[in-house]
Amino acid sequence: MSLNKTELVAKIAAETGETQSAVSTVVDSLFKTVAASLAKGEKVAIPGWISFDSTETAARTGRNPQTGEAIQIPAGKRVKITVGSKLKAAVK
């Protein structure tokens, strides 16, 4: 079972009394802000809940799973997500 964006927006709107349009705008803005901050190399943290950080990965050699052929994977950036204590406790 999963919760998609439309269902998330509907639940938040019902709980807060805001319109779904307003909540959708806020959710979109949240993710745009997180993405822009990570692109600049900044860490985004909501203490106790979640934090987002970008990490550099080195170039490395990988394998094509279909052929077994060695391929070069270029260096790049990845997103690291860390779950906070409040979110961990809520899931238990």
In this structure, the strands spanning 44-46 and 50-57 are antiparallel
Question: Residue 12 CB: number of other CB atoms within 10 A?
Answer: 16
- Examine the domain organization and report whether 49 and 89 are in the same domain: yes
Same domain? For 55 and 89 the reply is yes
Task: State the total domains in the chain.
Answer: 2
CATH of the domain at 83: 4.10.520.10
User: Per-residue confidence at 84, pLDDT binned at 50, 70, 90?
Assistant: very high
pLDDT 10s digits, 28-65: 999 999 999 999 999 999 999 999 999 999 999 999 99
Whole-model pTM: value is 0.79
Q: Identify whether residues 59 and 88 lie together within a single domain.
A: yes
Whether residues 23 and 52 share a domain: the answer is no
The pLDDT of 71-86, averaged and rounded, is: 96
For the chain, percent of residues with pLDDT exceeding 90: 98
* pLDDT of the residue at 1: 86
Q: Give residue 73's domain range.
A: 45-92
Cβ–Cβ under 8 Å, residues 54 and 41: yes
Q: Which residue type does 15 have?
A: E
The Cα 89–Cα 92 span in angstroms is: 5
